[in-house]
Amino acid sequence: MSQIQSVIAAIKNNSKVSVSLPFLRYELDLTQALDPATVDERIARLDQIRKELEAAAEAVGELQREASDNKQEAESLRQSLKQLEQDKVTAETLLQVPEESFSRMLARANSKARVRGIIEGLAIGLLTGAASSLAVWYVTK
C-alpha cells in the first residue's frame, strides 16, 4: 500500500498517519491535527515564532551595524597610532643631542644658576632687612 493510500485510509478511520523515510519517521494524529482548537493554537504559536524570528533578525542587524562601526573606529585608531609612531621617530631624531654637548650645557646652566641664586638671595636679604628696620623705626618713633 502506498503512502497516499495509507493517508486516505487513516483519514477515513480518524487514526494516525505515519510517514517513514530513511532515518526519519513521523506520526501525526489526525483527530488532533484536524481539531479547530489545535489548529488555532498552532497558528498562534507560528505567529509567535515569526515575531521572535523578526526580533532576532533585527538584533542581528543591530549587531552587524555595531560591528561595522567598531571596525571603522579600530581602523581610525590604527591610523592614529601609525601617525603617532611616525611622530615619535621624528621627535627622537630631532632630540638626539650628543652626550658631551648636553653635559656641557648642564654644567654652564648650573654655574649660571648658582650665581643668579646668590644675587637673588642677597637682594631679597637686603630688601627684607631694610623693610624690617623701617618697620621698627616707625613703631619706636
Cβ-based neighbours of 58, under 8 Å, separated by 6 or more: none
Q: Is the pLDDT of residue 10 over 60?
A: no
Q: Are residues 42 and 88 in the same domain?
A: yes
Q: Are residues 75 and 114 in the same domain?
A: no
Is 16 a member of any domain?
Answer: yes
Is 132 a member of any domain?
Answer: yes
pTM: 0.39
**CA dist 102 → 86, 89, 92, 93, 116 (Å):** 25, 20, 15, 15, 21
Is 101 a member of any domain?
Answer: no
Confidence of residue 17 (pLDDT cuts 50, 70, 90): low
Q: Is the pLDDT of residue 1 over 60?
A: no
Return the SS3 of 20. Answer: strand
CB 33 within 8 Å of CB 19 = no
Q: Which residue range forms the structural domain that includes residue 120?
A: 106-141
Give the number of other CB atoms < 10 A from CB of residue 139.
7
pLDDT per residue over 78-136, tens digit each?
999 999 999 888 877 767 766 666 667 667 666 677 788 888 889 999 999 999 999 99
CB 27 within 8 Å of CB 16 = yes
